[in-house]
Chains A and B, each alone.
With several copies, the nearest count.
Chain A
Amino acid sequence: MEALNANEQREFAAIMERRQMKDFMTMYSNLVQRCFDDCINDFTSKAVSSKEETCVSRCVDKSLKTSERLGQRFAEQNQAMMQGTGQMGGI
């Protein structure tokens, strides 16, 4: 990827932009599905209970924080691997 010239980088950036909305949609759908699967297990009523609602809210919160942390670590590891060290410091 380092070998892309200015024109190629511009074209690639346009492609990435077109992908972003799609990636956001997938992220959103995964989030809904995960929190629904984990929090909604009572079908004696058609309305979401307050207990379920709390669970969903925390699930969204925690999932976003999880994704953020994983993204940071992933970027670090990826960076390290690209530089050929293959090792990160000291957890």
Chain B
Amino acid sequence: MSFLGFGGAAQPTSAQKIAAAEQELEMITDMFNRLSNSCTKKCIPPDYKEGDLNKGESVCLDRCVAKFFEVNVKVSEQMQNMQASRGGAAGGAFGGFGQ
């Protein structure tokens, strides 16, 4: 994903390009799954009084997606600033945050 500030390096091989496309697809899928999870929890009450999305739920989902992207961009910017001011890779040997 370009907003993460990756990419660069010259003339990749076919295998590298395909692997990169695959990794990008995986990351987008993962991002969508996380967004789905979060926005469903925030917008859809788990009592299911009806099978349709009502107006309030629909609008909430739309705004939730927009906000998720905005947070994504902000976090990305903040990490790039930190990396720039540190002049190197952030994080250490262990990088997981758990969920």
Contacts and interface: CB of A to CB of B under 8 A. Distances in A.
Contacts of B72: 32
B89 to A, nearest CB: 8
A68 B75 contact: no
B84 interface: no
Interface of B: 2-4, 14, 17-18, 20-25, 27-32, 34-44, 46-53, 57-76, 78-79, 82, 90-99
Contact of B97 (A3, A4, A63, A75): A63
Given A27-B91, A63-B40, A71-B92, 5 more contacts: A27-B96, A33-B34, A47-B67, A59-B48, A66-B44
Contacts of A60: 51, 75, 78-79
| Chain A to chain B: the 4 pairs with minimum beta-carbon distance, closest first | A61-B51, A30-B97, A73-B65, A27-B95
A67 B63 contact: no
B59 to A, nearest CB: 7
B14 A15 contact: no
